[in-house]
Structure 1
Amino acid sequence: MSDTAENDCPVQDYRDPGEVPVLDWIDKGLIDIDAAYQRGLDEIRVEKIMTWFAWDSFGAIVVAPTENERYHCIDGQHRLEAAKRHPNVQHVPAVIVAVSGTVAEAETFVAVNGDRKNVSPLEMYWAKLAANDPDAVTISQVAERAGLTILRYPAGQGKIKPAQTVAIAAIRGLVDRRGAMRARQILDVLVQAELSPITAPQVKACELLLTDPEFSEHIEAEALTDAIQGSAILLDDEAKVFAATHKVPQWRALAAVWFKKTKKRRGGAKVAA
């Protein structure tokens, strides 16, 4: 009796993975870039890798053998370029794949990069927090003191609760620009308004109204909270219309709508379109 019959489980046909690649350290001077399929270099990215060069985060590049015992870099050209510029690096770790010619190399490039998932700002935040990165720790402390919960991943519609957010990039920018204490005060307005969720446009709109002298002199945090609370959805809809009509970003339109709603000490200021 076959294994299929005994286990009542169909046999899965898997794709032949091909020839096993070779792992080796290669002289960086022997590796070239084929411009036919490679992207242009991002100089800022190269400089950053070189400045913070460390083997524990370098990883292995992917190369294919060419003529005269040289190689083409299929994946990892920015790391390779950083290694080439680094005076203390001579060899780089590499996965040598058995492909030959530009077409085959380009196909491998597409296969390697086509399904690659970039790390999101939210995922990077949680990783940095686990590594005790000072900036991530500061963001965590600011959020905690404001009563804001940063989710590990986006929640489905209807499952998110008030004072929860995934807008980590907006919060990081707020802390960078305003400092921990001021950022906490701004986030506190949104938390007290029981917004669900707290979004990036809301963070930026609140920051504008409470920090720009044109508006902050005519509005108080408590009044802004009162204006937003209970009518966030209607105000968001109004802001969408405002943004489309005046051709401005959503966050600036939201600031205009919130400012109009907040009657406290209005002095004629207007949010510029």
Structure 2
Amino acid sequence: MEALREIDVSDFAGVSWAGQPGPAPQVQWIEVASLRIDDRYQRPISQRGKMQVRRIAERFRWSRFAPLIVAPIEGGLYAVIDGQHRGHAARLRGIKSVPCMVVIVDTAEQAEAFAEINTQQLAVTGAVLHKSRVVAGEHKAVQLQAVCDEAGCRIVTPRAQSELKRGDTFAAATLYKMMESYSEGTLQRALEAIIQVGDGNVGLVRANVVSAYCGLFEGRQDLRDHPGLIDALDDFDLQEAFVSMQRSQLNRGQHRWRLLADEVEAFLGRKLRLPRAAA
């Protein structure tokens, strides 16, 4: 029960009300065939939107389906204010009726509500998604969490650089990508090589840095597995190398992270007295 918290608004001060809430809505099950999209204020479904509709339909579960917000219009029909993608997914799945919150508003307020709802929506960060996937027991998320735990890495929500601690990273999407592209051992060693040296390179567990170390270690396992790797990297100024990488001009088709990977490889070759890999 320690993970459960009540809705507490005691720390919200100076809130002013813009107006009255309006009539209380009703929650009803409404046939999908009775729903309508008002193109005067609704956006068309883009290619990305169609992918979202397909994804909702293919993985349809009522536990993941939020009620649509609709308003009654002429002919016993309902205009969808919020939830057209969910409505399309339900129809694609062959579901006849969906739960809806029915509000009695005119077209102008429908459009205003549409704009306000879409403005208010908070994007779910990679850290929050990762946390939920771990709790849900998704295999890849659990694997990634195990790698992070071993390396001393923590996926966190965006915050000021001054608030970051050793091992903190915003780069959840990159870590998942590295899990797909490289072995778990390579990703773990890459994270260790960033986090477990010197002062921990706080704030540098970034996409291009992780990509550079993973790309290097996958091809140079002699570096990855060298017992003196961490000690050697104590003398490498990753902050300076990162700034240099960011400022460098790229040739066509060149990846920025590769510049950093080449610099780390050259440094380790000198420090550990290992030959550079043949091109």
Q: Under TM normalisation by the shorter chain, which class is it?
A: 0.7 to 0.9
Deviations, residues 43-97 of structure 1 (Å, cap 9, x unaligned): 211111111111111010111222101111111111100101112x211011112
Other-structure match for 1:117: 122
Letter of the 2:117 counterpart? V
Cα deviation, residue 11, structure 1: 11
Distance 1:161 1:229, change over 3 A: farther
Distance 2:229 2:250 in 1: 24
Q: What does the per-residue CA deviation read over 1:179-225, in whole Å, with 9 as the maximum and x for residues that have no partner?
A: 4333223323223333223112111111221224xxx38x7134775
**Structure 1 gap segments, 5+ residues each:** 1-9
Match of 2:103 in 1: 97
Residue number in structure 1 paired with 2:202: 196
Partner of 1:55: 62
- Superposed displacement of residue 246, structure 1: 4.4
d(CA) in 2 for partners of 1:13, 1:179: 54
**Which of residues 238, 241, 261 is equivalent to 2:247?**
241
Counterpart residue type for residue 220 of structure 1: L
Shift of 1:12: 6.2
Q: Identity over aligned residues, as a percent?
A: 25
- Residue 137 of structure 1 is matched in structure 2 by 142
Correspondence for 1:18: 22
Residues 96-144 of structure 1 show CA distances to partners (whole Å, capped at 9, x for unaligned) of 122222x432211101111110111111111222232222211111112
Distance change in 2, residues 1:11/1:25 (3 Å): closer
Kindly tell me the number of residue pairs found equivalent between the two proteins.
252
Partner of 2:154: 150
TM-score, scaled to structure 1 = 0.81
Contact conserved, 2:156 with 2:168, CA < 8 A, in 1?
Answer: no
Residues 56/267 of structure 1: CA separation in 2 closer, same or farther (3 Å cut): closer
1:75 equivalent in alignment to 2:82: yes
Distance 1:139 1:46 in 2: 28
Does the 8 Å CA contact 2:155/2:172 hold for their aligned counterparts? no
Residue 255, structure 1, aligned to residue 261, structure 2: yes
Equivalent residues in 2 for 1:227-238 (5 A)? 227=233, 229-238=235-244
In structure 2, stretches of 5+ residues that fail to align are 1-13
Once the 2 structures are TM-superposed, how far is the Cα of residue 14 of structure 1 from its aligned partner?
Answer: 5.7
Alignment of 1:142-221 (within 5 A): 142-146=147-151, 148-193=152-197, 194-197=200-203, 198-212=205-219, 216=220, 220-221=223-224
Q: In structure 2, what residue type is equivalent to 1:140?
A: Q
* Compared CA separation, residues 11 and 26, structure 1 to 2 (3 A): closer
What is the alpha-carbon distance in structure 2 between the residues aligned to residue 196 and residue 11 of structure 1?
Answer: 37
Work out the CA distance in 1 between the residues paired with 2:277 and 2:15. Answer: 75
**TM-score, normalising length from structure 2?**
0.79
- Rounded to whole Å, the distance in 2 between the matches of 1:168 and 1:209 is 20
Q: Compared with structure 1, are the counterparts of its residues 74 and 239 closer, same or farther at alpha carbon in structure 2 (3 Å cutoff)? A: same
> Residues 31 and 70 of structure 1 are in contact (CA less than 8 Å); yes or no, is this contact kept in structure 2?
yes
Local SS of the residue matching 2:71: strand
CA RMSD for the aligned pairs?
A: 2.6
